[in-house]
C-alpha cells in the first residue's frame, strides 16, 4: 500500500445562478446574437438578434422561460422554411 496523497479536488462549479437568455440566431447563425426578454407586466416575450435585427415576440405566462420563447421562434422559422420548400 502506497501513501495516498490527499489531493482534494474542488467540487465542480455549477452555474445555475443565472438563466440562459442568450442564444444563437437562426438567421445569421451568430452564437450569442439572440437575447430573450420577458415582459411580465404585459405578458409578452421577445427574442431579438442584435446582429441582424431579426425579432420574434409571443405571449408568455408566469412559467415561461427565455428558452421557451427561443424554441418557439425556431419552430416558427422551421414552419416558414417548410412552407417555402413546398412552394
List of residues contacting Zn ion (CB under 5 A): 25, 27-28, 33, 49, 51-52
43/75 with CB nearer Zn ion: 75
**Shortest Å distance, C-beta 17 to Zn ion:** 27
Q: Contact 19/37 with Cβ under 8 angstroms?
A: no
Rounded Cα–Cα distance for residues 79 and 61 (Å) = 23
Q: In which element (H, E) is residue 84 found?
A: helix 66-86
Residue 14 DSSP code: P
63/80 with CB nearer Zn ion: 80
Strand partners, 18: none
**Shortest Å distance, C-beta 84 to Zn ion:** 18
**Shortest Å distance, C-beta 70 to Zn ion:** 12
Amino acid at each position: 500500500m502506497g501513501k495516498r496523497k490527499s489531493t482534494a479536488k474542488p467540487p465542480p462549479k455549477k452555474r445555475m445562478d443565472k438563466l440562459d437568455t442568450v442564444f444563437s440566431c437562426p438567421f445569421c447563425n451568430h452564437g450569442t446574437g439572440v437575447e430573450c426578454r420577458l415582459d411580465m407586466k404585459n405578458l409578452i416575450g421577445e427574442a431579438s438578434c442584435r446582429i441582424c435585427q431579426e425579432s420574434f415576440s409571443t405571449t408568455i405566462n408566469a412559467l415561461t422561460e427565455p428558452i421557451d420563447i427561443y424554441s418557439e421562434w425556431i419552430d416558427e422559422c422551421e414552419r416558414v422554411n417548410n412552407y417555402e420548400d413546398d412552394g
